[in-house]
Amino acid sequence: MGSGQNIPIAGIMLAAVTFVALLLLGTDVIIALSVMTVWVGSLMVAAGRPPEPPRAASKKRLSLESIRELIENTSTPLVITERSTIALANHAARRMLGPHVIGQDARVALRQPEATSLLNEDRQGEAIVRGLVRRGDIWQINRQRIDERLAMLEFINQTAEADISRAHTDFVANASHELRTPLSAIIGYVETLQEGDSNLDTTTARKFLGIIEREAQRLQALVSDLMSLSRVEAEKHDLPTERIDLAVLVERAARDAAGLARLDRLVLEITAKPVVLGDRQQLEQVMRNLVDNALKYGAAEMPVNVRLDLTPGNLARIAVADQGEGIAPEHIPHLTRRFYRTDPGRSRASGGTGLGLAIVKHIVERHRGRLDITSKLQKGTQVVVRIPLAEAELSASSAVRTTSDHMVGPETQQLS
C-alpha cells in the first residue's frame, strides 16, 4: 500500500460487522469470510486509485490553455467567449478593450448593437461596428464557433482602409470640380463666339479669346500636375540612385521658375555644393514649385531668397523664403493636402492648381527627406527641404536613421 493511500477504516469496520452478522445467521464460515475479503479488497483498491477529475472540466481547461498559447502573441485582437462570457483575450485584445474584459459579459464589453446581435447568433458570422474603441473608428468583427460552448471573435481594424477610400473619393470629387470649372468657362465663351452675332466687336472677341486661352492653360497645368502627382505616388517607394550636384540643380531650376520677368526678385545664396542621390526631374520640380509659389504670393516689390547649405546630420538644406502676407497658423498643417488653398480666389487667379505642395511633399518623402513650413502674418513664409547627402544614403546605418527620423510632416512651427 503506497504512503499516499487513505485506509478506508469505516468501510472495513462495516465489512467486519457484516461478517459477524452472517455467522450469527448461520452462514457458513467460508462464505462469510469470502464476502468480507472481497468487500475489504475492493475498498483497498478504490482507496489506492487517484481521484479522476471530471472529464468535461479537464477537457475544457486544457482546451482554453492551449488556445491561450496559440493566440496570445498574435497581432490581431482575438477574444474567446464561453457562452456569453469572455474567457480569454490575447494581448492585442486586452490592449484594445482593456484587461478588465476577461470574465465580463461580452455584450457589456462590446456594447454596440451590431456586435451584441452577432453574439446572440448560434453560428459564425461577421459585423461592422463603428466607434468600438474611439469615435470614428471602424472594426469588422468575425465570429467563429470552436465547439458547443466556445467561440472566437476576431477584430479587424478597417479605419485606415476607410480613410484611404474616403480620401480617394474626395480626390476624385475635387479633381472633377477643378477640371469642370475651366472647361465650363471655355465652352461658354466658345459658344458665344460661335453664335456669329454681328454685334460682337473685335475687342470683345479678343477678350473672350484671351479668357479661353487662360482657362485652357489652367486646364493644361492642372492635368500636368495630376499626372505628376500620380507618377510621384507610384514611385515613392523606389529610392533614387542618380548622384546629383544639388548646387547646379538649385540654381538652374530657381532661375527657370523666375523667368526673365521675375529674375530681378530672385536672391540666390549657395554656400555649399552637396551631392545627393535623387531623381533630377523631380528635384527640379520641387524647386520650380517652391520658387514659383514664393514669387506669386510674396509681395511684388520684395525679393525671394533661395539658400542652399548644409546642416548637422549629413543633410543638404534648401530654404525658399518670401516677404509676403504670410499664412495664418490654422492653415499651415493643411498646406500639403491636395487642392487645399488658403485663398481659393487668389490662387485660381494666379494660375495655381492647389497641387504644388502636395507634389513637393511626395517627392521629398521619396528622397527620404523632410519638409518644414513656417510662416508669420505680414512677415512672410519660409519652406525648408532637407535631403540626406549621398554619403549618408550609401551608409546602411545612416539609411535606417534617415528613414525613421526624417519623415515628411510638414512640421508646423511659427517664426518667432
Instruction: Tell me if 55-157 shares its fold with 238-405.
Output: no
Other Cβ atoms within 10 Å of 53 Cβ, number: 10
CB 375 within 8 A of CB 296: no
Which strand (E) or helix (H) includes residue 153?
Answer: strand 150-157
Select which of 100, 168, 177, 334 is catalytic. 177
What pLDDT sits at residue 373? 94
Do strands 304-311 and 266-270 pair parallel, antiparallel, or not at all (unpaired)?
parallel
d(CA 295, CA 139): 47
Beta bridge pairs of residue 414: none
Residue written as grid cell 472594426: 139
SS3 call for 310: strand
Fold of 55-157: Beta-Lactamase (3.30.450)
Residue 338's pLDDT is: 84
Cell output for 149: 460552448
Bond prior to 240 in cis (omega within 30° of 0): no
- Residue 318: the pLDDT is 96
Q: Which residues contact 58 (CB under 8 A, 6 or more apart)?
A: none
Residue 117 — φ and ψ, nearest 5°? -65, -35
**Cell digits of residue 205:** 472677341
Active site residue 91: no
Q: Which helix (H) or strand (E) holds 188?
A: helix 159-194
Would you tell me how many other CB atoms lie within 10 Å of the CB of residue 211? 15
**Average pLDDT by stretches of 10, the chain with 416 residues:** 58 75 72 73 68 50 74 88 87 88 86 78 76 83 84 87 71 76 84 71 82 86 84 84 94 92 91 94 94 90 93 92 90 88 68 83 93 92 94 52 44 36
> Spelled out in words, what is the top-level CATH class assigned to the domain 238-405?
alpha beta
Segments making up each domain of the chain, as ranges: 9-48, 55-157, 163-233, 238-405
The reported pLDDT for the residue numbered 4 is: 45
Q: Alpha-carbon distance 85 to 153, whole Å?
A: 12
What is the reported pTM?
A: 0.56
CATH no., domain 163-233: 1.10.287.130
Closest C-alpha to 290, from 174, 381, 390, 406:
381
Instruction: Report the pLDDT value the prediction gives residue 407, as an integer from 0 to 100.
Output: 44
The pLDDT value recorded for residue 403 is: 43
**pLDDT of 410:** 42
Residue 75 one-letter amino acid = S
Give the rounded distance of the alpha carbon of 209 from its chain centre.
47
